[in-house]
Amino acid sequence: MDLHPHKVKLIDETAKRLGHSIIETAAGDGKKSVERFGTEQFDRILVDAPCSGLGVIKRKPDIKYSKTADDFSRLQEIQVDLLDQAAQLLKKDGILVYSTCTVDSTENRGTAERFLKEHPYMEKIEVSLPETLGLKNSGFVQVFPQDFGGDGFFISAFRKTQTS
């Protein structure tokens, strides 16, 4: 789900181009997804959360002028709300992937750890990149722009161990 229909269209076009047929998209407010779909309806969910975008600052330098300290705590609340909704949507043993395009530890690790603390029926799944890439594995993936000369991003994953 995305608030913006044009972004949903981009996701659909990219999925089609890549040959992915299992992706379902919808325009709407992800913070109201349980109201829309009901609980325990999905096997897999990706929450590519709205974030500060600090990982793409090289491509979007205006970010450094548009973000305030309050934005970071506000964004984390939105991220936690989206993750909470996603957890309710998952079937038992379902997998939830949480990602951002930021390098801010509060939005990334902080949000993932808060989510786990507030949702004891969810467990962390170890996520890692191949050792040959030389990144330290902490069970979460944090890539910084300087690591590969691209964007910075964060990925974490969780499994639902019981019904919520």
Q: Which of 120-124, 131-135, 151-155, 156-160 has the lowest mean pLDDT?
A: 131-135
pLDDT, tens digit, 9 for 90 and up, residues 59-76: 888 888 887 878 778 899
For the segment 105-119, what is each residue's pLDDT rounded down to a tens digit? Answer: 888 999 999 999 999
Q: What is the pLDDT of residue 137?
A: 67
Q: Which has more pLDDT, 156 or 139? A: 156
Tell me which long-range contacts 1-4 makes (C-beta under 8 A, separation of at least 24): 1/25, 1/26, 1/27, 1/28, 1/29, 1/30, 1/33, 2/27, 2/28, 2/30, 3/27, 3/28, 3/29, 3/30
Instruction: Write down the pLDDT at residue 11.
Output: 93
Residues 8-53: tens digit of each pLDDT: 999 999 999 999 988 889 999 999 999 999 999 999 999 999 998 8
Tokens 């994953």 map to which residue?
Answer: 157
132 confidence band (pLDDT: 50, 70, 90): low
Task: Kindly report, residue by residue over 86-99, the tens digit of the pLDDT.
Answer: 999 999 999 999 99
Q: If we measure between CA atoms, which residue out of 70, 71, 99 comes closest to residue 83?
A: 99
**What integer is the mean pLDDT of 147-157?**
92
Catalytic choice (1, 87, 101, 112): 101
Q: Is the pLDDT of residue 133 over 80?
A: no
Give the pLDDT of residue 38. 95
Active site residue 101: yes
When pLDDT is averaged across residues 140-162 and rounded to a whole number, the result is 92
- Rounded CA-CA distance 119/127 in Å is 19
